[in-house]
A and B are shown apart, each in its own frame.
Chain A
């Protein structure tokens, strides 16, 4: 067979070799088939560690908060709100009190309405929580003016109560 018939083959082989060489540099060493087999385990192993190294934002350690805010923790512990982690209402603590020095205080009605806006859903847990109709129950006024969310009896509140309409 003539030489010119083979020439394109050499070009193809050269390109293939180049791609394989480039792949050797580009694809990390730990890339390959791992624990879950060919179908589901084909990946870069180091990525598992990348995900493990993600920094948590939430602490969700009640003892942590009570160390510095014993009054709040004490109050809350006897309230029906004791089941709610502090950070649900105050946001992720991360490195508080260094970073951030203060946690936000959300006094919005919407925060309380997450659980207390009345919904007639008998088959859900919502039916176990006393609900109010936000349009009827002192509209326009922050709930915390009248109800202290940490207090053991949030209806009877230590806040000065404005006259009810």
Chain B
């Protein structure tokens, strides 16, 4: 028996080598250059620009997004939504988004959830405005990091997508997103999120929400193109991002963003 000549030390050694080798995934053995790893596409990277001062809260963007992308119209889920912020003189900040503002804001009453609808007197208002929200297509997307099966990923041009055939519906990404932009699709039974209308932007069109907005409160552009109007604004004006402190590097930029907006 050949085994008899193998001593304990050698056994442990070869076992360790075997385990180390077996734990290297096949993918790691592929040779990749650093350029391939980090460069993605040098010519195109999609970014979004929201001008909160222009938004009137009509909600046509939300309606257009739902109908364009087949998000069940009456289900309480949406890829984009508009928030209303009302700051009163007593220092209180109230925010609501009835049905994600699918039907706009047609009443002064603010939805306080469990406390019902709140009437606020005109003269008590210190500041009030609307904030459209959508996926930030983060450069450091936490939702992608937590996916256990590789169903969600970032494309070379900077858009985070979900593979519906691969998603197992575990919901980690929905929990992982600090902006709450992900939800469980009630019909497809997978995680769902804004795609920056990937089917439109890759064909030279703008997203449905951008084209639907009558007031120019939303726009999408290519930050790698110095002549792109959106890129110019982001490079030269004072723009803010949401929850900068999380380090997610959000790619949706806001003009006129108040510090109260979370």
For B145, list chain A residues within 8 Å (CB).
Answer: 39-40
Instruction: Give 10 closest A-B pairs by Cβ, nearest first.
Output: A114-B104, A43-B153, A35-B156, A121-B128, A54-B199, A60-B211, A47-B163, A113-B106, A40-B154, A114-B58
Chain B residues numbered 147-163 whose CB sits less than 8 Å from any CB in chain A: 150-156, 161, 163
Q: Are A119 and B161 also in contact (CB < 8 A) when A33-B30, A58-B64, A129-B56 are?
A: no
Known contacts: A32-B27, A58-B211. The answer to whether A114 contacts B60 by CB under 8 A is yes
A115 within 8 A of B: yes
For the complex, give the distance between the alpha carbons of A145 and B160 in Å.
46
Residues of B whose CB lies within 8 Å of any CB of A are 3-4, 6, 22, 27, 30, 32, 36-41, 52-60, 63-64, 67-69, 84, 86, 103-108, 122, 125, 127-130, 141, 144-145, 150-156, 161, 163-166, 195, 198-200, 202-203, 205, 208, 211-212, 214-215, 217, 256
Q: Which of B59, B150, B152 has the most CB of A within 10 A?
A: B150
Find out whether the CB atom of B199 lies under 8 angstroms from the CB atom of A56. yes
Give A116 to B149 CA distance when docked, in angstroms.
Answer: 48
The residues of B that contact A48 with a CB separation of less than 8 Å are 155, 161, 198
**Contacting pair A44 B163 (CB below 8 A):** yes
A122-136, CB < 8 A from B: 122-126, 128-129, 134
Q: Does A63 contact B (CB under 8 A)?
A: no
B155 touches A35 (CB 8 A): yes
Of B144, B150, B164, B212, the contact of A31 (CB 8 Å cutoff): B150
Docked CA distance A43–B38 (Å): 16
Q: B43 CB to closest chain A CB, in angstroms?
A: 13
Q: How far is it, in angstroms, between the C-alpha of A42 and the C-alpha of B69 when the chains are bound?
A: 25
Q: Is A55 an interface residue (CB 8 A)?
A: yes
In the assembled complex, A98 has its CB within 8 A of some CB on chain B: no
Identify which of A64-72, A87-95, A148-156, A157-165 touches chain B: A87-95
A43/B150 contact (C-beta < 8 A), A1-B3, A35-B156, A110-B106 known: yes
Cβ of A15 within 8 Å of any chain B Cβ, yes or no, is no
What's the Cα separation between A121 and B88 when bound, in Å? 11
Known pairs A37-B37, A41-B154, A119-B128; A58 contacts B212 (CB<8 A): yes
Cβ < 8 Å to B, chain A residues 68-125? 83-85, 87-88, 91-92, 110, 113-115, 117, 119-125
Instruction: Contact check, A88 vs B64: say whether CB atoms are below 8 A apart.
Output: yes
Given A50-B164, A117-B106, 11 extra CB contacts under 8 A: A1-B3, A16-B22, A40-B153, A42-B150, A48-B198, A50-B163, A58-B211, A87-B64, A119-B128, A121-B128, A124-B130
Chain B residue contacts of A53, Cβ below 8 A: 199
Which residues in A have some Cβ–Cβ distance to B below 8 Å? Answer: 1, 16, 31-44, 47-48, 50-58, 60, 83-85, 87-88, 91-92, 110, 113-115, 117, 119-126, 128-129, 134
Q: How far is the CA of A48 from the CA of B214 in the complex (A)?
A: 30
Q: Which residues of A contact B54 (CB under 8 A)?
A: 125
B217→A125 contact, CB < 8 A? yes
Which chain B residues border A83 with CB–CB below 8 Å?
214-215
Closest to B52 in A: A124
Q: Are A56 and B200 in contact (CB under 8 A)?
A: yes
- In Å, the complex CA distance between A58 and B67 comes to 8
Say yes or no: B106 contacts A114, CB within 8 Å: yes
Closest to B157 in A: A35
Complex CA gap A126/B41 in Å reads 39
Q: How far is the CA of A6 from the CA of B86 in the complex (A)?
A: 71
Q: Identify 6 residue pairs between A and B in the complex whose beta-carbon atoms are under 8 Å apart, listed by A's number.
A: A38-B27, A47-B166, A113-B106, A121-B57, A123-B53, A129-B56
- Nearest A-chain residue to B87, judged by Cβ: A123
Residues of A within 8 A of B200 (CB): 56
Contacts of A43 in B (CB 8 A): 150-153, 163, 166
Residues of A near B195 (CB, < 8 A) are 51
Provided the pairs A114-B106, A121-B125 are in contact, do residues A88 and B68 lie with their beta carbons within 8 angstroms? no
